[in-house]
């Protein structure tokens, strides 16, 4: 079945899908994005998918009525807030392209002094304070990604510091000429490129800000926007470096520290002389979002689901984000649909979704997950997310090609490595070999990593897997290729970029289709679900040691010995069960009813990581092992780690206890099954 599947995806068809999806700007709630929902539904019906349905949510949306920025002192400058057109790329001349804005910025009209605050992280404001500079009532100018932090965290930080408004610009050091050739000659951002985006506080609660924890189905109750925890309170705007430069170069105050200097040929200063007038007028109203859903009903286990998803909405054309993923998905659905037309069905049901409003607050997937929470908790084997399938330039990637950069919950990491051996990479090697080679290259290591280190098992937020993992306790995998890419969320992230710079042969698109489909088929067809809890435990032990090392935890502050011991026992139980399963399957000793119940229990292990109370301060995030930081960065043992980092040792102890109990519960469950399988095989109960 896997080889039949792999023979179908075609790079030329992926190119056609990509051209269709990137033909016009298609942000959430736009007419074009809604047309594309119908287009996908039609295509899936034609491809043979079943139960194709549009799910509608009425969501608090945010889009600009008008935005403007001018420097009023020491000289006059009006920011263009627009990106330049290039003759070689007709899409850049499309008049439907938006100006600069941030989703969920507050409306406001501010005239104030401008202060440069580097990356806009808390430690940057600490440094300003040390230099005697206050940002209270001022306009703060910060840059993207140094080190990477989600723009919504910069917004919350500026708000907490008392700033009146926030400007975020793209410095060429991060994604422009310092990195290499800029668009349209290369993958990096040109002078006028603008990184749009949302600044909602979805690391506290994602989805529609006015329905925290429940679905925005038509007629649902909405809280008042003033009560929403995830809505920013100050106006903010993204800028190209061309629009930021006049503000920076006209400052005459204290010179910024060396590591705050960017790549522009000026001296970056912290403050002095520059005043600006920022006006942001946002239209905030309920708008319909549409999730398209379809399935191939499983031939034997229709009530066990493997879910695949990709978001449809884009800030502009979405060349990489997300239409590369959409093109890969449409080739996947075409292949599985064609097989179903020949009578070949997966054993379990495969569900596929085209999400809406991911760019705003992971909204479509969150609302859908909240709507079907009860079913998903029982039936969902795993969620396989693809946001950007090709986020890099094959033309500048060198001989080894783009980096395959998946992440997965630790229990599914080994099966992903195994699946990669069956798929061919564009370089001609197996995806597994290509993955090892690019991992070695990217780490500047002398030899490739061991298999157990290939998959990133630490998972942050920032895409549609969030609700399934963090809120519903279902295992997730994220798939994609990465490389040089500096036009994220700008107008230049378009078909031209992909066709001339990113993936001219569209072979990475179909390679991604293949690994996505093979992984899905393995999960859908496996006798016993391929969770590896021994490996899972080893990863947990690694997370715990890292926590101890990073925070210099000793026994006086917090006793973690019992948790370590619990994890060791969990590892033994996981390995014991795996051996018993392998033996039982090979010998044909496990009765089908027993396999069925075993699979239910394996899914239960994942569910047992869910703590209904949630983590302290963020009740929506209920997973004990995984959450995300406010920056979107990965965060393991979130409740415990945040307590430790605050130095709240009492809370840390309580959190450690909660994890201990979940580990113990899962260990018991695995031992019982191991014993049951062994006694079925030999009639004797082996000692642990
Ligand atoms: Zn995306």
Predicted confidence (pLDDT) per residue in 247-277, tens digit: 999 999 999 999 999 999 999 999 999 999 9
With cut-offs at 50, 70 and 90, classify the pLDDT of residue 589: confident
Predicted confidence (pLDDT) per residue in 543-573, tens digit: 999 999 999 988 888 999 999 999 999 999 9
Confidence (pLDDT) at 678: 83
Of 410, 628, 662, 671, whose CA–CA distance to 537 is shortest? Answer: 410
How far apart are the CA of 302 and the centre of ligand 1, in A? 30
Range list of H helices, 59-185: 122-130, 151-160, 172-175
Confidence (pLDDT) at 149: 86
How far apart are the CA of 466 and the centre of ligand 1, in A? 13
How far apart are the CA of 30 and the centre of ligand 1, in A? 16
Confidence (pLDDT) at 588: 87
Instruction: Work out the average pLDDT over 399-410.
Output: 97
Of 527, 150, 580, 633, whose CA–CA distance to 304 is shortest? Answer: 527
How far apart are the CA of 463 and the centre of ligand 1, in A? 7
Instruction: Work out the average pLDDT over 131-148.
Output: 92
Pairwise pLDDT comparison (588 vs 240), residue with the higher score:
240
Instruction: Work out the average pLDDT over 496-509.
Output: 98
How far apart are the CA of 570 and the centre of ligand 1, in A? 36
The sign of the torsion formed by the CA atoms of 23, 29, 34, 35 equals negative
How far apart are the CA of 355 and the centre of ligand 1, in A? 10
Instruction: Work out the average pLDDT over 305-323.
Output: 98
How far apart are the CA of 311 and the centre of ligand 1, in A? 7
Instruction: Work out the average pLDDT over 579-587.
Output: 92
The bridge status of strand 77-78 relative to strand 197-198 is unpaired
Predicted confidence (pLDDT) per residue in 22-56, tens digit: 999 999 999 999 999 999 999 999 999 999 999 99
Confidence (pLDDT) at 682: 64
Strand partners, 476: 383
Distance, in Å, from the CA atom of 469 to the CA atom of 5, rounded to the nearest integer, reads: 28
How far apart are the CA of 458 and the centre of ligand 1, in A? 19
Mean pLDDT of the chain: 96
How far apart are the CA of 275 and the centre of ligand 1, in A? 35
Name the helix (H) or strand (E) containing 113: strand 108-116
How far apart are the CA of 315 and the centre of ligand 1, in A? 9
Distance, in Å, from the CA atom of 667 to the CA atom of 688, rounded to the nearest integer, reads: 12
User: Do 43 and 257 meet the contact criterion of CB atoms below 8 Å apart?
Assistant: no
Least trusted range by pLDDT, from 24-28, 326-330, 593-597: 593-597
Distance, in Å, from the CA atom of 544 to the CA atom of 573, rounded to the nearest integer, reads: 19
pTM: 0.97
Confidence (pLDDT) at 146: 67
Distance, in Å, from the CA atom of 268 to the CA atom of 255, rounded to the nearest integer, reads: 6
Instruction: Work out the average pLDDT over 75-83.
Output: 98
User: Do 570 and 537 meet the contact criterion of CB atoms below 8 Å apart?
Assistant: yes
Instruction: Work out the average pLDDT over 284-313.
Output: 98
User: Do 304 and 19 meet the contact criterion of CB atoms below 8 Å apart?
Assistant: no
Distance, in Å, from the CA atom of 183 to the CA atom of 190, rounded to the nearest integer, reads: 6
Predicted confidence (pLDDT) per residue in 617-627, tens digit: 999 999 999 99
E-assigned strand segments in 465-578: 476-478, 481-482
With cut-offs at 50, 70 and 90, classify the pLDDT of residue 416: very high
How far apart are the CA of 322 and the centre of ligand 1, in A? 5
Instruction: Work out the average pLDDT over 633-637.
Output: 95
Q: What percent of the chain has pLDDT over 70?
A: 99
How far apart are the CA of 314 and the centre of ligand 1, in A? 7
Within 10 angstroms of residue 684's Cβ, the number of other Cβ atoms is: 8
What single-letter DSSP state applies at residue 470?
A: I
Predicted confidence (pLDDT) per residue in 636-687, tens digit: 999 999 999 999 999 999 999 999 999 999 999 999 999 988 887 765 545 5
User: Do 54 and 292 meet the contact criterion of CB atoms below 8 Å apart?
Assistant: yes
Instruction: Work out the average pLDDT over 88-114.
Output: 98
Name the helix (H) or strand (E) containing 290: strand 275-296
How far apart are the CA of 343 and the centre of ligand 1, in A? 34
Confidence (pLDDT) at 683: 54
Confidence (pLDDT) at 259: 95
Confidence (pLDDT) at 676: 87
* pLDDT for residue 168 is more than 80: yes
Instruction: Work out the average pLDDT over 492-516.
Output: 98
Predicted confidence (pLDDT) per residue in 431-456, tens digit: 999 999 999 999 999 999 999 999 99
């Amino acid at each position: 079945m896997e080889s039949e599947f792999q023979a179908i995806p075609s790079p030329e068809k992926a190119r056609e899908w990509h051209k269709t999806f990137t033909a016009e700007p298609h942000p959430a709630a736009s007419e074009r994005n809604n047309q594309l929902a119908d287009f996908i539904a039609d295509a899936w019906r034609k491809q043979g998918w079943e139960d194709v349905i549009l799910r509608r949510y009425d969501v608090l949306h945010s889009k600009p009525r008008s935005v403007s920025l001018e420097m009023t002192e020491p000289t006059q400058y009006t920011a263009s807030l627009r990106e330049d057109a290039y003759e070689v790329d007709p899409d850049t001349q499309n008049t439907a392209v938006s100006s600069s804005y941030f989703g969920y910025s507050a409306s406001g009209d501010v005239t104030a002094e401008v202060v440069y605050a580097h990356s806009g992280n808390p430690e940057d404001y600490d440094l300003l304070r040390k230099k005697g500079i206050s940002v209270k009532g001022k306009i703060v100018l910060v840059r993207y990604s140094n080190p990477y932090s989600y723009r919504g965290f910069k917004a919350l930080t500026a708000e907490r510091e008392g700033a009146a408004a926030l400007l975020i610009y793209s410095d060429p050091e991060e994604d422009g000429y310092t990195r290499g050739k800029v668009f349209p000659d290369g993958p990096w951002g040109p002078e006028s490129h603008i990184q749009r985006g949302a600044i909602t506080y979805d690391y506290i609660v994602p989805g529609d800000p006015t329905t925290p924890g429940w679905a925005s189905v038509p007629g649902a109750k909405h809280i008042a926007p003033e009560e929403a925890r995830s809505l920013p309170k100050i106006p903010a705007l993204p800028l190209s470096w061309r629009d930021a430069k006049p503000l920076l170069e006209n400052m005459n105050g204290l010179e910024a520290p060396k590591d705050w200097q960017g790549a522009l040929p000026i001296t970056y200063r912290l403050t002095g002389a520059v005043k600006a007038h920022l006006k942001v007028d946002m239209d905030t109203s309920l708008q319909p979002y549409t999730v398209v859903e379809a399935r191939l009903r499983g031939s034997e286990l229709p009530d066990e689901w493997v879910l695949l998803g990709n978001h449809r909405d884009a800030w502009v054309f979405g060349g990489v984000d997300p239409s590369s993923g959409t093109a890969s998905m449409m080739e996947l659905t075409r292949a599985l649909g064609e097989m179903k037309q020949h009578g070949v069905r997966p054993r379990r049901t495969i569900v596929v979704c085209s999400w809406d409003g991911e760019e705003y607050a992971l909204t479509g997937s969150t609302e859908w997950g909240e709507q079907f929470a009860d079913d998903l908790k029982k039936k969902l084997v795993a969620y396989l997310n693809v946001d950007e399938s090709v986020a890099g330039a094959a033309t500048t990637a060198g001989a080894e090609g783009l980096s395959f950069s998946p992440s997965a919950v630790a229990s599914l990491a080994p099966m992903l490595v195994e699946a990669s051996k069956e798929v061919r990479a564009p370089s001609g090697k197996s995806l597994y070999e290509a993955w090892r080679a690019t991992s070695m290259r990217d780490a500047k290591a002398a030899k490739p990593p061991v298999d157990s280190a290939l998959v990133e098992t630490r998972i942050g937020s920032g895409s549609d897997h969030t609700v399934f993992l963090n809120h519903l306790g279902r295992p997730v995998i994220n798939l994609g290729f990465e490389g040089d890419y500096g036009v994220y969320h700008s107008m230049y992230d378009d078909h031209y970029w992909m066709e001339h710079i990113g993936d001219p042969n569209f072979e990475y698109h179909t390679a991604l289709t293949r690994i996505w489909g093979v992984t899905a088929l393995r999960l859908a067809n496996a006798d016993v679900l391929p969770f590896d809890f021994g490996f899972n435990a080893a990863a947990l032990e690694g997370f715990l040691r890292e926590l101890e090392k990073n925070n210099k935890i000793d026994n006086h502050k917090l006793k973690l010995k019992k948790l370590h011991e619990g994890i060791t026992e969990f590892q033994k139980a996981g390995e014991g069960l795996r051996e018993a399963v392998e033996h039982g399957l090979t010998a044909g000793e496990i009765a089908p009813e027993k396999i069925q119940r075993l699979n239910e229990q394996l899914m239960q292990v994942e569910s047992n990581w869910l703590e209904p109370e949630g983590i302290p301060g963020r009740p929506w995030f209920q997973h004990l092992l995984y959450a995300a930081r406010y920056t979107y960065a990965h965060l393991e043992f979130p409740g415990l780690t945040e307590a430790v980092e605050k130095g709240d040792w009492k809370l840390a102890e309580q959190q450690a206890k909660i994890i201990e109990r979940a580990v113990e519960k899962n260990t018991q469950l695995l031992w019982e099954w191991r014993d049951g399988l062994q006694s079925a095989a030999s009639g004797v109960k082996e000692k642990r």
